[in-house]
Amino acid sequence: MIRIFIGFDPRETVAWHVLTHSILARSSQPVSFIPLALNNLKDLMWRERDPLQSTDFSFSRFLTPYLSGYEGWSLFIDCDMLILEDISKLWALRDDRYAVMCVKHNHVPTEITKFHNEKQTVYAKKNWSSVMLFNNTRCRALTPEFTNTASGLELHQFKWLESDDLIGDLPAGWNHLVGYDNARTDASNVHYTSGGPYFNEFQACEYSDEWVQEKLSMLRADQRC
């Protein structure tokens, strides 16, 4: 079973459901989806919203190892994504030498704001935490207490690890940043990090047609005679 924790923000509900459909439609292995919705995490997430926090799941993602009982592996992904490859191929990249694995972007945005007019922030390791394979037993530092009290940079820059040597590499195609990375036709995971085609102003972005087609496929309801 591939355990997949997905950030949930009520402003992007349609994105969450299209993402899960894109995974189900292509996965060759059983999957389970766990939405990290704040209304389900009231006893575990009590920190006040940070003014630099652009989504509801900015910090709740780091509860993944705890919610997994610190056992086995789990995958966390943002909801503003579209999976175009069998997720089992990503799952097969797990490597016990590492505590966490991610795509190591050199992402330096130049704009001031992004979707919902949220402030765009620049920091080292930006977007590394948007796709994370957690080796849960090696992530015991991520307790609810630490997740609620650590700074954003401590969390998103993996300062809860003893060394960056414990961060493994994933292929860039598993977290393709639309609008930042060079355009490509073979992305395994499309990340609409600035805003997806479900927002009017991003309806013509890279991979917008693929997202619309996935949504239409999700809404299919065949009638039986």
pLDDT for residue 110: 59
Sort 201 into a burial class: Cβ within 10 Å, 0-12 / 13-18 / 19+: exposed
CB–CB of 177/108 below 8 Å?
no
pLDDT of the residue at 112: 47
Check: CB of residue 29 under 8 Å from CB of residue 2. Answer: yes
Given a contact cutoff of 8 angstroms between Cβ atoms, the answer to whether 78 and 131 are in contact is: yes
Helix 13-24 with 208-218: angle, nearest 10 deg: 80
Please give the pLDDT value at position 121: 66
- Kindly state the tokens that stand for 112: 């001031």
| Per-residue confidence (pLDDT) for residue 149, from 0 to 100 | 97
> Structure tokens of 13?
């509900």
pLDDT at 214: 98
Q: Where are the domains of the chain?
A: 2-217
Q: How many CB atoms lie within 10 A of CB 112?
A: 8
- Domain 2-217: assigned CATH number: 3.90.550.10
**Cα-atom radius of gyration of the chain, to the nearest Å?**
17
Task: Output the tens digit of pLDDT for each of the chain's 225 residues.
Answer: 999 999 999 999 999 999 999 999 999 999 999 999 999 999 999 999 887 777 899 999 999 999 999 999 999 999 999 999 999 999 999 999 999 999 999 866 655 455 555 555 666 898 999 999 999 999 999 999 999 999 999 999 999 999 999 999 999 999 999 999 999 999 999 999 989 999 999 999 999 999 999 999 999 988 775
- Cα dihedral 59, 61, 62, 64, rounded to 10, equals 150
Q: Coil, helix or strand for 2? A: strand
pTM of the model: 0.91
Residue type, 66: Y
